[in-house]
Amino acid sequence: MRTFLLLLSFLLWIPLGAAVRTKTAGDSAYLRKDYPEAVRLYSALVKAQPSADLYYNLGNAHFRLQEYPKAVLAYERCLHLDPSHEDARFNLTVVRTRLTDHFAPPQQMFFVSWWQEWRASRSLESWTRWSYLCLLLAMLAGMLYRLAHRVLIRKAAFFLSAAGIFGFLLTTLLAWQQKAAFRDNARAVVMAAELPTYTSATANSKRGPTLHEGTTVEIQECAVGGWQQVLLPNGEQFWVRPYKMERVVPRP
């Protein structure tokens, strides 16, 4: 049995050790400014073991090579895995200043923007942990309320319990929305120099704005013939041929 466990540990360590060596080699290539080699190594790693930090490193290497569409895609994939990755969010903003297309965001109520930013400030795992902590606080405060005899302590325990229940409901809602955003991610990045848009799913329809590489859209629906309706960053909707786009979350 002991021999079997040692053999199993050795077999598990082989791919882990190879990944660590590849990551170290990628970091080394990036530091010595061999960005093509860093891209090659990081790309191999994210295919085998995708993670937010690896996509962030890959995005940085693409940015250094001025491969802005690929950098946008890498940062988007990083934020898909970890919406709270502030460095990736900042770098994505910087990259977008180098793109051809610049869209003004659609007008929305301030509290909607505030809620979306707050939800994105934590990952799904983080909101879930906060939900459990709030539930634990509510349960402990409820027990203290039942066991305490002094009026002041009972009042404090009551308010703590109420705060815990409110926090539990709020963080559970945030976690649920983060999970839905992770599951239903339909964002895609334009990878070609130009991508024409149309007002309907036919090439004979009226033309819309031409999109350029690096622009991120959200796929709304698909139609016959491979057409896809996309939502632009300014809130407008048009139809495109998807062969010049790459999804943030590839289809299985």
Do 2-96 and 187-247 agree at the fold level? Answer: no
Closest by CA position to 214, among listed 233, 186, 191, 232:
191
pLDDT at 6 (0 to 100)? 42
Domain 2-96 bears CATH identifier 1.25.40.10 = yes
What pLDDT sits at residue 183? 76
The whole-number pLDDT of residue 12 equals: 40
Main-chain phi, psi angles of 217, to 5 degrees: -125, 170
pLDDT of residue 244: 85
**Alpha helices for the chain (secondary structure H):** 2-31, 35-48, 52-64, 68-81, 86-96, 110-120, 124-147, 151-183
Which pairs from 241-244 meet CB under 8 Å and 24+ separation?
241/195, 242/188, 244/190, 244/191, 244/192, 244/195
Domain ranges of the chain: 2-96, 110-183, 187-247
Q: What is 187-247's CATH number?
A: 2.30.30.40
pLDDT at 196 (0 to 100): 92
pLDDT averages per 10-residue partition of the chain, 252 residues: 45 47 82 92 90 94 95 95 91 94 78 79 86 94 89 91 94 88 85 92 90 93 86 91 85 68
pLDDT of residue 122: 80
Which two tokens mark 88?
Answer: 């990736």
Residue-level pLDDT at 181: 77
Per-residue pLDDT, 8? 38
